[in-house]
Structures are given as C-alpha cells and as structure tokens.
Amino acid sequence: MIAIIDYGMGNLRSVEKGFLKVGVDVMVTNAPEDVQKADGVVLPGVGAFKDCIRELTNLELTDSIVQAIQSGKPYLGICLGLQVLFSESEEFGTCRGLDIFKGKVVRFDFDTNDLKIPQMGWNTITIKKENPLFKGIPDKSYYYFVHSYYVAPEDDTIVATTTDYGVEFTSSVWQGNVFAVQFHPEKSQSLGLRLLKNFGDIVSKGL
C-alpha cells in the first residue's frame, strides 16, 4: 500500500485516481501512523512552500516523512513534494525545508517577455541519468508544469532530468529510494500514468 499524504494542499484526488487507473493500491491519509505503516509514500502539492511546511508540521507529519525516507521506503514527491526536500526556499522570505537534500528553492528570474511566470503548461524533460522512475519513458517527453519556483541542488549527481524555461532547471531528482518531480504526472496523460505505474512497481518489486 502507498500512502498519499493529505495536508490540505494539492489535487490529491487526481493523484489517487492516476494510481488506481494503473492498478496501484493507494490510500489518502494525514495520519503519521499510516505513513509509518505504508510500503511507499507520495507527497503531492501545489501552493506556497511555507504553507506546506506549516501544515505538515501542524499535522505532525514531518518526522514521519523523514523517517520513512531514512528507512529506505520509496518516496515520490510531486511539485511541492519535490521542493520541500531541500534545505530552504526563498519564497516569501527564507523558510527551512526538510533538508533531505542540500540546496535552495529559487524563483524564475529572466529578462524576456516571451515567457510568463508561473510556467504553466507542457514542457519537455531531458533525462540526465537513467533511473527506474522513467523506465520506458523517452527522452524529451512532455509533462505538465505549474510553478514559479524551482530547486537548485548543491549536488548535481541527484539531478535526474532538466527542463528549459528561460533557464535550464532541475525538473526531477533521484537518489536511492527518493524520487521527486517538479511537473504533475497526474495531469500528464499517458506518460504521466506510466511514471506513476513505474513508482508502483518500485514499491512492489524494489529498485
């Protein structure tokens, strides 16, 4: 069973329906004990970094998430679920993250009238290193993005894919049991469903 963490932010039902559509058993929960018992953990979300950290803390979920990751349990972060893994965000003032990965969450900053902030819509990913989350997914595949901030890792070896939007930014990371993407697989049609199925396989069969 995979626990989809509900902390009041994000389109959780779309994520849940995506997993169910590809035959992966999931439960939506905000209970720390469910996270501890689950075989895998998914943290989706949209909105502000600081609000996300506050709600996770209020629900006493931060320790459960960190412990799940440290225990080797497969973790999939989506959008904010990627960003909160990092040390801090500059969104609305500095806010500390879970510090699983060293680095910052920074805002798009470019001089062009051709690109709007937030990035909202389809864009391609460039695969930097093969990993099981992208099994069967071609390089330059399109995924759906909605964000104004992106992660800037200190360690380039965790970068799984990059995407160009005024700047080349990290659009997904992978290290060990931790997978996280900036885009929304639940809104990305067949290739998004393939990614969710791949994560289900990682949980059920191992890396």
Residue 95 has pLDDT above 70, yes or no: yes
Task: Compute CA 109 distance to the chain's CA centroid, rounded to the nearest angstrom.
Answer: 22
For residue 116, give every residue at least 6 positions away whose Cβ sits within 8 Å of its Cβ, in sequence order, or none: none
Averaged pLDDT, 104-112: 88
- What amino acid occupies position 67? Q
pLDDT given for residue 46 in this prediction = 86
Under a CB-based contact definition with an 8 Å cutoff, are residues 36 and 64 in contact?
yes
b/e per residue 53-92 (b: at least 16 CB within 10 A): bebbeebebbebbeebbeeebbbbbbbbbbbbbbbebebe
Averaged pLDDT, 81-103: 95
- Looking at the chain, the whole-number percentage of residues with pLDDT higher than 70 is 100
pLDDT given for residue 114 in this prediction = 84
Residues classed as catalytic: 79, 184, 186
Residue 186 has pLDDT above 70, yes or no: yes
pLDDT digits (tens, 9 = 90+) for 126-176: 999 999 999 999 999 999 999 999 999 999 999 999 999 999 999 999 999
Binned at pLDDT 50, 70 and 90, residue 207 comes out as low
pLDDT digits (tens, 9 = 90+) for 30-85: 999 999 999 999 999 888 999 999 999 999 999 999 999 999 999 999 999 999 99
For residue 89, give every residue at least 6 positions away whose Cβ sits within 8 Å of its Cβ, in sequence order, or none: 49, 50, 83, 95, 97, 104, 105, 149
Binned at pLDDT 50, 70 and 90, residue 28 comes out as very high
Q: Write down all domains in the chain, each with its CATH number in brackets.
A: 2-205 (3.40.50.880)
Residue 90 has pLDDT above 70, yes or no: yes
Residue 100 has pLDDT above 80, yes or no: yes
For residue 170, give every residue at least 6 positions away whose Cβ sits within 8 Å of its Cβ, in sequence order, or none: 150, 151, 152, 153, 159, 161, 162, 182
End-to-end CA distance of the chain, in Å? 16
